[in-house]
Amino acid sequence: MLSYRHAFHAGNFADLIKHVVLVEILEHLVRKATPFEYIDTHAGAGLYDLHSAAALKLREYAGGIGRLQPQDYPEMARYFEVIQAFNAADELAFYPGSPAIAGYFLRPQDRAWLFELHPRDYELLRANLAGNRRMKVQCQDGFEGLQALLPPTSRRGLVLIDPSYEVKSDYDLVVDRLLAACRKFSHGIYALWYPVVERRRIDELETRIARSGIRNVQRFELGVAPDSAARGMTAAGMLVVNPPWKLLEKMAGLLPRLAPALAEEGGGSYKCEVLAGE
């Protein structure tokens, strides 16, 4: 059983880039009345108490969501709206994970499938989403569960793939599973999150995807420190297959502002580009 618990890292800069992109995609999907399905391969606990012992141990949220003031980023208004929905006025006590963010957008006609293998986080996820019948929670390996759900019955869908990469083989596995998923559901939207701990691994991951034949892939990355294999995660990013048509424009305006705001001394970088054309 893996030991990774996201509660220690909730609300950090890596969550921020992941969830800003996620909100943009979900906003795009709900613009049409037709239903869609959301699949989260590594759902976590869904909602995180920033006053808990786990969150306070590293206080990573202080270098992420804690550094931003909503009034300074009007282009992120919907993201802050979602965060506020889980907090009292003028207080940041809870940070929603991707399942809670998706749940905020789901309409009666939409469905979500959430996978979490860690037994404690699975129970927390069930508790945090109790009463939401549109969201099905399973204690199962999300990589295995994903294939059985594709293509979704609605023929519209978003798949979020965001393992912890605690096991180094995940860097290869995420590409394998992404390619397999695209073969079954080629027009779905896929959002693949990655951490930059060793830049070489990310370069290899991106090269495999770029050469795979998958079309219409964009990359968004936010860095807070110079790349260094000796210091842990220095950047994080999202690779999006079949992105909404305005996503690149939106992120091209936002990332140059977020990078210096969240940077540590000597850091601050971003990438916003087309990895594979349509």
Distance of alpha carbon 262 from the chain centroid: 18
Contact 261, 220 (CB under 8 A): no
For the stretch 211-238, pLDDT in tens is: 999 999 999 999 999 998 777 899 999 9
Q: Which residues of 197-226 are buried (b: 16+ CB within 10 A; e: fewer)?
A: beeebbeebbebbeeeebebbbbbbbbbbe
pLDDT of residue 193: 98
pLDDT of residue 1: 44
1 falls within a domain: no
Overall pTM > 0.85: yes
Range of the domain at 238: 6-276
Q: What is the total count of domains within the chain?
A: 1
Query: How far, in Å, CA of 130 to CA of 136, rounded?
Result: 10
Check which CATH number belongs to the domain holding 59 and give it. 3.40.50.150
167 falls within a domain: yes
Which residue do the tokens 């993201």 mark? 79
12 falls within a domain: yes
Average pLDDT over residues 183-193: 97
Catalytic residue set: 162
225 falls within a domain: yes
- Phi, psi angles (nearest 5°) of residue 175: -70, -45
DSSP bridge partners of 176: none
Which residue do the tokens 């990573």 mark? 60
10 falls within a domain: yes
Query: How far, in Å, CA of 101 to CA of 128, rounded?
Result: 12
Mean pLDDT of the chain: 94
Average pLDDT over residues 138-147: 94
Reported in sequence order, the residue ranges of 104-208 that DSSP labels E, i.e. its strands, are 111-115, 135-138, 157-161, 189-196
For the stretch 157-172, pLDDT in tens is: 999 999 999 888 999 9
